[in-house]
Amino acid sequence: METSTMDPKERNEAVKEAMLLKKMDHPNIVRFQEVFMTRKCRLCIVMDYADGGDVHQEIKRREGKLIQESRVLEWFVQTCIALKHVHERKVLHRDLKTQNIFLMATGQIKLGDFGIAKVLEATKDYAKTMVGTPYYLSPEIIEDRPYSFKSDVWSCGVVLYEMATLRHPFDADSLVILAGKILRDQHPPVVGYSEPLNGLVNKMLAKDARLRPTISDVLDTAFLQSSMAAVNTKYALGLDLSMHAAVAAAAAPPREMRVAPEDSDSVLMATMPVHDHPKNDDDYEEEEFEDYEEDEEEEPHLEFGQSVVRTAPSAGLGAGAVGGKAESLRNYLCSQVTSQEFRKAYTLVRTVGQTDGLQQQVSDVIGSDKAPELLTLFQLLIFLEDVAATSGS
């Protein structure tokens, strides 16, 4: 990743952060083998190779055929186990998505790119990283409010939903509309899977971060215990699961299972409900990187225009932080095109809005090779500018 535009302090912080992540050692996490800086100020990170691709690729290969619930849960619990290890070390993942959940040929899950968003934040590569992640952004991050480990839990809930349905819980043709849906809409229910799985998705995708479970709470869920024990044995993870099993056993009543035929992609159907499990006393799960306001906040009122979401000001919405991100993105775009091309493309995206011919119009200005990627970035820039403007008004 390029660090030449960073000042020495920022560059040292990026290297320090990468070196810290290099020490993360867990069987469900992609290892950093080497971290070094080149003479041209490129930060290079050498990681383990995942020979089974990633979960996103596997979902695409399904071509609409649902994945058996037992496999979904096998992937999901390994992802949660890895995320718990990360959170215990007071590290936020910040870029959790199916593209960052890697598969080994054996079926073992490896969580990758954790913390990389923090390393990238001060570099021009951060703009590129943001393009692929809007589907997984939590409401508090979209509104630029203080966020905690619960933001990763939201993203993990999106991942579980995607594993089960093969699609995102919130989808739209533009970043602006997508952001609005994440903030105000309810996701469609998960169809064809057990009620406990559906209930867990609902809890993890609670709009209010305070209502979401911690990742430890998720792993305490009764119906996940058999999957956790299975992967612990199958992949020789060497984990002590007694605490999770004890909490789950104390909370869950007896249940009966209906087992689907082995020759189909049907799923295990459980009849027991999902329970609210008592929280652990793990302080790290409640710690935040910024002070989170516990007082009730008024829900932002959204008004949708042609190409902009207007958000009525609400407590905690930081215009300065959003404006800073917009400025970084603007600088990156200016480095990719001429000043004249930037003005023309920016004006087009700002005034034309979402139309079928917008990409072609932008292509005519900046070239067809750059248009697909940069159009999305121009839309993101306008979104950030408008959020910053309304927040500061």
Catalytic center residues = 95
DSSP sequence for 13-51: HHHHHHHHHHT---TTB--EEEEEE-TT-BEEEEE---T
Q: φ and ψ at 253, to 5 degrees?
A: -80, 170
C-alpha distances out from residue 166 to 111, 191, 237, 275, 363, Å: 19, 11, 28, 26, 31
DSSP sequence for 76-142: HHHHHHHHHHHHHTT-------GGGEEE-TTS-EEE--TTHHHHHTTSTHHHHHHHT-GGG--HHHH
| DSSP-derived pairing of the beta strands 43-47 and 32-37 | antiparallel
Helix, strand, coil: what percent of the chain each, to 5? Answer: 50, 10, 40
Please name the helix (run of DSSP H) or strand (run of DSSP E) that holds residue 311, with its range, or none.
strand 309-311
